[in-house]
Amino acid sequence: MVSKRMSFGEALRAAMSQAMESDERVFAYGQGINDPGGFFGSTVGLCDKFSETRCFDVPLSEDSLIGMGVGAAIQGRRPIYVALRFDFLLLMMNQIVNHAAKWPLMFGYRSAVPLTIRCIIGKDWGQGAQHSGAYYAMFAHVPGLEVVMPSSVNDAARLLLASIQSHLPTIFVESKPLYDLEGEVELPILPLPLGQASVVREGDDITFVAISHMVEFAQGVAQDLAGKNIQAEVLDLRTLSPLDENQITASVKRTGRVAVFDVGWQKFGLAAEVSRVICMDPACRLSSPLVSVGQKWEHTPGGCFREYEHYPIQQQVVTELLRLF
């Protein structure tokens, strides 16, 4: 096994390429998938390598396109649909929720829907409400759907490969700030089991539960708190569904404090689910209130300056957390 330094987009491309090489049932499609930019470098060259039979551009018709993917998956193929923005999945809700998620149950689990849907959350684009939605909690609420949200380059490659190999329909969520990352990727890529959180920083004073690009944000907050002799443990959930409840409760039992770092809106989001998990475990006892960190309760404003004020600001979060001690 060797390692190679890659960008976030290159790691996703490597995972797709490996999956397509090892399994002829895998194919990829999406609007502009063969453009020179190739979804920030994540699909460049796949068409040349595998031909337009297995990597092809499609028209703007999201509901029909996901319906095609569901049908292909039921017939034994493993489609990867690449959507540029998460907001576009709202146009696919009928196919994803009413068909992809429910099909296995309706047929006694004798049929699978191994469909992977890649989508990007548009934070840092400054493009406003219709291109910045973080709707993953809606999909995580639906039984039968997997929701995957990597935070690092190597995890992105391994989790995408696991998503493609899964027998369940999987929403693979990529946050735009992650495309600025570079890191070492182990080759050949080994799939990372879904539902396993990772401790990216150890600590005994408070648990930080984070996902996607908020893992890096949480680590920055933890570093600032360390200067005040407060040691935060940072959990990278990696997947929202399945959720590693055991890892969350094990950490909270030790620290007695918890802050949740969410990519989306705070209401009805990750903090609510973490609260449910903690409250249902009789061994979990908090010594201070849970802190929720996430977007303000409004749609993302247009323009980079207003967008910056919309999302959590590190020093403000540090100040809020210091009040717990």
Measure the CA dihedral 163/76/141/106, to 10°: -160
| Residues written for the chain | 325
Question: Among 214, 145, 147, which Cα is nearest to 175's?
Answer: 214
Largest interatomic CA distance in the chain: 59
Distance CA 247, CA 254 (A): 11
Distance CA 170, CA 241 (A): 9
Of 131, 141, 167, 213, the catalytic one is 131
Tokens (6 digits) for 245 = 């409840």
Active-site annotation holds for 167: no
Q: Catalytic amino acids?
A: 131
